[in-house]
């Protein structure tokens, strides 16, 4: 059920924001850049949430493995965040 709620929230935000672009005569490049960074941020947030949840579950099941889980989790979160930053750079490239 939560997957449906996430999909509904994403669709609602996407379609509610569309009239804002129509009002000011925003170019198609700006709309594409905004959509690209929105999708990247959404995907990055989902990925980071799942990675953190899996790491916390692993630590909860075996507290002695905290050191073995924590460092790779931080590395994975940094790599996920770097993908969102790359999407931001692509969005700027689309605009400029």
Q: CA dist 12 to 7, 15, 16, 26, 85, Å?
A: 9, 5, 6, 20, 24
Instruction: Provide the 10 A C-beta neighbour count for residue 82.
Output: 11
| 95 contacts 29 by C-beta, under 8 angstroms | yes
* Domains of the chain with CATH codes: 45-96 (1.20.20.10)
One digit per residue, the tens of pLDDT, for the chain of length 96 reads: 577 777 777 776 776 666 555 555 556 777 778 888 888 888 888 989 999 999 999 999 999 999 889 899 999 999 988 988 988 888 888 877
């Amino acid at each position: 059920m939560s997957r449906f709620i996430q999909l509904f929230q994403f669709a609602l935000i996407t379609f509610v924001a569309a009239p804002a672009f129509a009002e000011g005569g925003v170019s198609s490049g700006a709309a594409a850049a905004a959509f690209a960074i929105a999708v990247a941020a959404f995907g990055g947030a989902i990925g980071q949430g799942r990675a953190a949840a899996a790491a916390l579950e692993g630590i909860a099941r075996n507290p002695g493995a905290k050191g073995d889980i924590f460092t790779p989790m931080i590395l994975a979160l940094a790599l996920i965040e770097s993908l969102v930053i790359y999407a931001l750079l692509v969005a700027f490239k689309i605009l400029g």
